[in-house]
Structure 1
Amino acid sequence: MLIKITAITALLLTSTVSFANPATSLPTATFAQLAQQQSHKTPLQIIDCRNSNFYNGWPEPQQQRGGHIAGAVNIDTSWLKTLDTSAFKTLLRDKHLQSTLPTYLYCSADKAQQLSTALQAQGYKSLTTIDQPLNLYYGQLSALPNFQQLVPASWLNELINGKHPRYAPKHGYKVVEVEWGPPAKYLLDHIPGALYVNTNTIESEPWWNKVSNTALAKVIANLGIRYDTTVILYARNNMSAARFANFLMYAGVKDVRLLNGGWTAWDNAGYPTEHLPNYNQHPVAFGEKIPANPQYLIDTNQVKALLKKPVNQQSVVSVRTWPEYIGETSGYDYIKPKGRIEGAKWGHAGSDSYHMQDYLNPDQTMKSGAEITAQWAQWNIKPNQDVAFFCGTGWRASEAFFFAHILGWKNISVYDGGWYQWSANKDNPTAEGTVTPASVH
């Protein structure tokens, strides 16, 4: 991302705490030197090559503050292990990075060296590392407003091992794996202590909407979850975990968290697993009337009412592939009609109904907030609006909803019925064909 940032006015420490540099180390700079370069108002770019959780706002070990330098883009060096040359080129293009600009890398020296080698192979010549830990940066750091609700695997590992990590639960916690169908993969391997939820117990036919409030309350009670229980959710594909997160927030659970990167993050970290199933032995009373937050789920009539508002005040967001949005495919073998809700804005998604690449980093963690916000803003989807997300039956929409929550958006919801229920009634207005953001009404 091209940035032009004014000088940091706060006092910057000029002393350095250097990482151990390899023999072929890159030129290094301090934060003060970076600020001096920024004060010249010449174009430059900063790559934060740390883990995305630190970029989002979680402090690194032995550091007090988390987040990232304003304007920095996130490319975790560890992603290189899964990217071929073509995919890496695409990543750089999507990040709007330019090989001709002076580029500053911030992460540990070994990670910076690995990334610089990959960048040099793509023609990047002016590369410099920031040779100080982040606690010596005295400028304003950027962080996601609700980053605590998107937890790192390392944080969860500390929690389940009896430690007291930052932002620890205050009233007990439950870890829950959420998947469709019987617990086949769960019984092979799961996070220690994790309970299991089959989405068939929280969704009902024919539209795969939320079950009745009574049935939902029973599922929640059987898991041992009260309104003040911290619930940490994950899945093999986090869409299903986000679906349950939306339902729990609707019910009134005050502290719902998602494992950033889901099962992939836990597996990549090499943390212990278990295969014996876990059950909550004692159902509990929720402690509040369900739903405490009915605004998080809306129905067809509410969508129609929303669409009557001026386009700058509302967004009904289609979290579906572009071919689904323009009516080339329905996206599902059990949904026959093609097209979109008339007036819906395109919210991006991924390659098909089971993937969300437009929202995820190569390691399946949440893409940077700036990138998600920018792709929404292109379609006039903005945080000051009333925003309702939908997809086919709610899973992709729920992941977009939860990320909007992490971004601090307030007036957000999921249209539970999605395209499946909307398109089943021929009286509901639909549209097909290519459209530009400016022509959506």
Structure 2
Amino acid sequence: MKRVSQLTALALFCSLASLSSLAAEMPDTMTLSQLQEQHGAVIDTRASAFYNGWPQSLSGTSGHEPAALNLSASWLDAMSDEQIAIWAKQHHLTPATSLALYGGDKTNQAVKARLEKAGYTHVSLLSDALQTPARLQRLPHFEQLVYPQWIHQLQQGNPVTAAPAGNWKVIEAAWGAPKFYLLNHIPGAGYIDTNEVESEPLWNKVSDDKLKAMLAKHGIRHDTTVILYGRDVYAAARVAQIMLYAGVKDVRILDGGWKAWSDAGLPVERGMPAEVKPAADFGAPIPGQPQLMVDMEQARGMLHRKDASLVSIRSWPEFIGETSGYSYIKPKGEIAGARWGHGGSDATHMEDFHNPDGTMRSADDIASMWKSWNILPEQHVAFYCGTGWRASETFMYARAMGWKNVAVYDGGWYEWSSHPQNPVSTGERGPESSL
């Protein structure tokens, strides 16, 4: 057996003593004020719905602790150790940062174990979490992003927070025939083909007359609460944004889409949608909110302004002109002077806006991402992408975040690039290019 020198043994002893001392210095629990004195970080281990503002019970508190980060225990199986490290780095956490968790006992322990495995050993529990309602923060319109159990309780006739004021419908939205819907869908859900709300050649929204007919066909009036979901969140968001433009007052989307319902293990149905009784009248003029859409001339007028942002929700390769992003859009490039609002890895992904489970990333993260490109809540902001789907998803998030003056440039890159006189940019560039 190899002998250990006295010097090595002493060094090992000192190292262990130092680690023991650090562990001893870190209390099992901390109050928010104690954590703030140490410039530490609070982490909410609950599902994002509760972090965003949904109460966990009808009489429960609403929101999250000030400046809390959300690291839901439900995401951990989908996150590698490297992804945990990336998440921590994105939020400026180091192994020396004091962390305090709150949520449930099981969720706290699960997150604590993963953080410690990643080298974050200064982890306590927040002892006064959710006990001072006045200090809690929430999405201004969290109710616009519903979660699976809320829909289920509503369908069961049970009382729910932010209940619809009148009649309501759950509808799945997707492109084309309802092939996946036929296999399984939320019980009682209707089905809307996105071809009913947008059309070629540019995949812009259909005329107001066609919108009126489509809404009547699905039994939707201006005062019907419509809860939309999709296999892809942005399909539901596209329909939602157009319905809001038309004048439906209360339109919500299922945060995380079909995957969220499936992951929750809630009941499903098979087969064709039930026959719907058409609405005799929409009950209000269409469009009810024309300001939610901007056309090409309005989009051009928003460029290079401090009080407005025309925002590209496209992947970086699309933004710098490496690819158009679409097989049917040939020109590559970007609207000259547009600000990059992030997107995802390509034209069919939105990772920059999603938690690991596909739900909306925290509002603080999104606002910070946008601020770096001079996209601010007090501006007039219009989002666009290739043809409107990704832009509509970010519109719905900005709306839930309480941004007051947001719209979608419906034509997007497809329409803009079809007019050769429109200014186009390509190549690497930063936020200063839009000033």
Q: Does 1:431 align with 2:425?
A: yes
Which residue in 2 is equivalent to 1:382?
Answer: 376
Matched to 1:298, the amino acid is V
CA contact (8 A) 2:65 2:129 kept: no
CA contact (8 A) 1:231 1:256 kept: yes
More deviation, 425-434/187-196 = 425-434
Which residue in 2 is equivalent to 1:150?
Answer: 145
Deviations 1:211-239 (A, max 9, x none): 11111111111111110111000001110
Which residue in 1 is equivalent to 2:213?
Answer: 218
Deviations 1:242-282 (A, max 9, x none): 00011000000111101111111100000000012223432
Instruction: Choose which of 147, 165, 175 in structure 1 pairs with 2:160.
Output: 165
Q: Secondary structure at the match of 1:306?
A: coil
Structure-2 change in CA distance of 1:429 and 1:263 (3 Å): same
Deviation at 1:151, TM superposition (A): 0.6
Instruction: Choose which of 93, 115, 118 in structure 1 pairs with 2:114.
Output: 118
Deviations 1:109-166 (A, max 9, x none): 11111111111111111110124562x2355111011101111111011011111211
Matched to 1:146, the amino acid is H
More deviation, 227-236/85-94 = 85-94
Q: Does 1:36 align with 2:31?
A: no
Deviations 1:379-429 (A, max 9, x none): 000011111100000000000111010011111111111101110111111
Deviations 1:346-401 (A, max 9, x none): 00000111111101100111000000000000000001111110000000000011
Deviation at 1:63, TM superposition (A): 4.5
Deviation at 1:27, TM superposition (A): 5.3
Q: Does 1:91 align with 2:87?
A: yes
More deviation, 64-73/84-93 = 84-93
Q: Secondary structure at the match of 1:387?
A: strand
CA contact (8 A) 1:391 1:419 kept: yes
* Aligned counterparts of 2:29 and 2:342: Cα–Cα separation in 1: 38
* Aligned counterparts of 2:86 and 2:193: Cα–Cα separation in 1: 36
1:55-74 to 2 correspondences below 5 Å: 55-61=51-57, 63-74=59-70
Q: Secondary structure at the match of 2:302?
A: helix
Q: Secondary structure at the match of 1:206?
A: coil
What percentage of residue pairs aligned between the two structures are identical?
46
Which residue in 2 is equivalent to 1:15?
Answer: none
Matched to 2:434, the amino acid is V
Structure 1: which 5+ runs fail to align?
A: 1-25
Instruction: Choose which of 388, 391, 403 in structure 1 pairs with 2:385.
Output: 391
Deviation at 1:201, TM superposition (A): 1.5
Matched to 1:200, the amino acid is N
Deviation at 1:99, TM superposition (A): 1.9
Matched to 1:406, the amino acid is A
> What TM-score, normalized to structure 2?
0.91
* Aligned counterparts of 2:244 and 2:274: Cα–Cα separation in 1: 22
* Aligned counterparts of 2:183 and 2:91: Cα–Cα separation in 1: 38
Structure-2 change in CA distance of 1:206 and 1:293 (3 Å): same
Which residue in 2 is equivalent to 1:191?
Answer: 186
* Aligned counterparts of 2:164 and 2:191: Cα–Cα separation in 1: 20
| Aligned length, in residue pairs | 409
1:249-260 to 2 correspondences below 5 Å: 249-260=244-255
Structure-2 change in CA distance of 1:368 and 1:120 (3 Å): same
Matched to 2:402, the amino acid is G
Instruction: Choose which of 394, 402, 405 in structure 2 pairs with 1:411.
Output: 405
CA contact (8 A) 1:233 1:257 kept: yes
* Aligned counterparts of 2:115 and 2:35: Cα–Cα separation in 1: 21
* Aligned counterparts of 2:156 and 2:272: Cα–Cα separation in 1: 18
Deviation at 1:60, TM superposition (A): 1.2
Q: Secondary structure at the match of 1:218?
A: helix
How large is the RMSD of aligned CA atoms in angstroms? Answer: 1.4
| Larger-Rg structure | 2
Which residue in 2 is equivalent to 1:365?
Answer: 359
Deviations 1:50-97 (A, max 9, x none): 110111011112653211111110010110111122222222222332
Matched to 1:148, the amino acid is E
CA contact (8 A) 2:62 2:133 kept: no
Q: Secondary structure at the match of 1:69?
A: coil
Matched to 2:414, the amino acid is Y
* Aligned counterparts of 1:175 and 1:62: Cα–Cα separation in 2: 22
